[in-house]
Structure 1
């Protein structure tokens, strides 16, 4: 290296007389030498020692991203994502709530439930119902028609452990629609909850548990050592008999063998039945799922799909704005047979306590298919009356016996409309039972006023 510099100086002496040319030549030679001479790398900021001579730049390249200013970007993205899910909007079916930090508040549930037309999907008739956090009934309850299970919520109380609802039960009464009206909307709501009483429905809530901080290992180890020493002292033969009882009692208390009572619901903590989570959003979503499982806001598609064919076909025909027609093309129309089908057995469907207490009476029409054996093979609500009376009519009509229709001297299946009359059994409005008619003409108004008459026999109930 020193020899190379001496040569450069000689060149400078030789070409001094050449003026600027010599200076330019010297500069060019210096730059060339500098580019060819290896430069020792600077000491690494992480280790504080220099790399071996002749090391190339790729050996330090992998360390560059660790000190790059672009590394905070994932944290910024994580913060942006946290802002998006901070107050998630939770939905389940027709129930939707804007949460606060994933938690549902009572003030958010009130506009969602109070004053809405809710139906109990399973048709529970008890006025006190308790459900777990998954919407499963705790205990038992009789079930009835959906027309007796419309619930109007008046009060909502939300706590960490329960959602408590209080309201009134209503019966659905069909009024009879005009030909241009939707028969499913021509209805009336009649309150059937007695005065000074209410329907009370509660839901258990999934418990949100905040993880506890772990204790330091040193303290835990010291504690275990003390316990082991106490057990050793208690088991020592030299120890008095009476003194050995004290450490046992103290140890039993320290281990917590006695169940701790939960003051909120009176159950032992070891006997807890509800599920737990560390996410408020998960507990809120589970609550909405339970509500959607128990309640329907109006008569939705899921509710119709769960109904028996008696009601399902009625709503399908109403949605298509057509009258019910049997699916079997081999079923004859009443006007296409030589001899009409006739009822040859009694047809007197019973009423129920809700209809009697609310004064619901009148006539209802049902579409049926009478087979060649005189039995009803199919029945669909045509112009129902509601209040659980249509289910009574269906069961009674299925048990009835008809004289089959005849065509060319042979019995044939025929479509037949059956009109059933319901009456009030009281001194104020009652009348003897009227025979059922098979006239296919649709009846007039459903709720009829009948003149006062003598009370019926006790068997009429």
Structure 2
């Protein structure tokens, strides 16, 4: 104490600033216990919806490489181990699927294991990098979801206070499709295609019904496909890919072809 009091004012200020500058770094340094407490037993999802099971990130949580993406219904993560090394953090755990039958959200572990490496930052704090790799709820994924999930996701994944008042992708009144009336002959299905189901659904022997909403244009072409009643585990995308190849004759009104809104239900049972 006496030694510090003998410093000149400039030396005292320099010493004080030097000591204080160390405090945030020391307090910010992550430990394995901190990381496990943040990730263990939490419903996390891979923010970038990455398909690959081995992923590398820099110290800011930016992805290294260019892996392909997949639907969010097979992008959950369940932490099993966290190993903090001098130069990186290693996270491992099973990939988790999401079942959505009957509008219920059920997380189910899949057979594949995810291996994640995050490079160490100078401060030793992994918090912001982890936040860049994962989201802790489906509501965080809604803004980046493709059009065909928007309507369902906004209704079922967002709290009522956060749901948009109007869908920005909704058609203008002048372009809205026709719906069934006595004056309209609905589209007729000319040919259909069987879905090519993914390996996850096959392994789980999944079964159920998917409802897809779409428009059949006045030229018979299909557009604006969207999920209305999903199953999850990638099944919805499998069904949608098949329905997109259906062939219709257009709806008719007063002898003229018109654009028509249609629901297509696909039921299946994988044995």
Instruction: Please report the TM-score for the alignment, with normalisation by the length of structure 2.
Output: 0.82
1:309 and 2:147 aligned: yes
Unaligned runs of 5+ in 2: 1-7
Distance in 2 (alpha carbons) for counterparts of 1:114 and 1:406: 57
**Matched residue pairs, number?**
256
Q: Distance in 1 between matches of 2:19 and 2:214?
A: 60
**CA displacement 1:323-342 (0-9 Å, x = unmatched):** 98952323244223511122
Cα deviation, 1:113-135, whole Å, max 9, x if unaligned, reads 11111111222233332323243
Report matched runs for 1:24-423 at 5 Å: 72=9, 75=12, 79=16, 87-88=23-24, 100-139=26-65, 141-177=67-103, 186-193=104-111, 198-206=113-121, 208=122, 280=123, 283-284=124-125, 287-301=126-140, 303-318=141-156, 319=158, 320=163, 326-329=170-173, 330-336=175-181, 337-423=183-269
Is contact 1:171-1:191 (8 Å) kept?
yes
- CA distance in 1 between counterparts of 2:89 and 2:33 reads 12
More strand by share: 2
How many Å separate the matches in 2 of 1:135 and 1:406? 54
3-state DSSP of counterpart to 1:192: strand
Whole-angstrom distance in 2 between the partners of 1:400 and 1:203 = 44
Which runs of 5 or more residues in structure 1 are unaligned?
A: 1-70, 89-98, 178-185, 209-279, 427-461
| Cα contact 1:365–1:382 (8 A) shared by 2 | yes
Displacement of 1:321: 9.4
Asked if structure 2 preserves the Cα contact closer than 8 Å seen for 1:115 and 1:154, the reply is no
Q: Give the Cα–Cα distance (whole angstroms) in 2 for the partners of residues 360 and 78 of structure 1.
A: 66
The alignment's TM-score, normalised by the length of structure 1, stands at 0.50
Shift of 1:78: 8.1
Residues 387 and 75 of structure 1: is their aligned pair in 2 closer, same or farther, counting only changes over 3 Å? same
For each residue in 1:167-199, what CA deviation from the matched residue of structure 2 results, as whole angstroms up to 9, or x when unmatched? 11111011213xxxxxxxx111221126xxx32
Relative contact order (C-alpha < 8 Å, sep 6+): which is higher? 2
Match of 2:3 in 1: none
Paired with 1:166 and 1:317, the residues of 2 have a C-alpha distance of: 32
Greater Rg by CA:
1
What CA distance in whole angstroms lies between the structure 1 residues aligned with 2:46 and 2:72?
7
Q: Aligned equivalents of 1:405 and 1:328: distance in 2?
A: 20
- Cα displacement (A) at 1:155: 1.2
Query: CA 1:134/1:323 → structure 2, altered by over 3 Å: closer, same or farther?
Result: closer
The alignment partner of 1:363 has SS state of strand
Question: CA distance change for structure 1 residues 105 and 407 in 2, over 3 Å: closer, same or farther?
Answer: same
More helix by share: 1
Question: 1:75 Cα deviation (Å)?
Answer: 4.8
For residues 260-282 of structure 1, the C-alpha deviation after alignment (integer angstroms, 9 at most, x for no partner) is xxxxxxxxxxxxxxxxxxxx2xx
Distance 1:292 1:371 in 2: 43
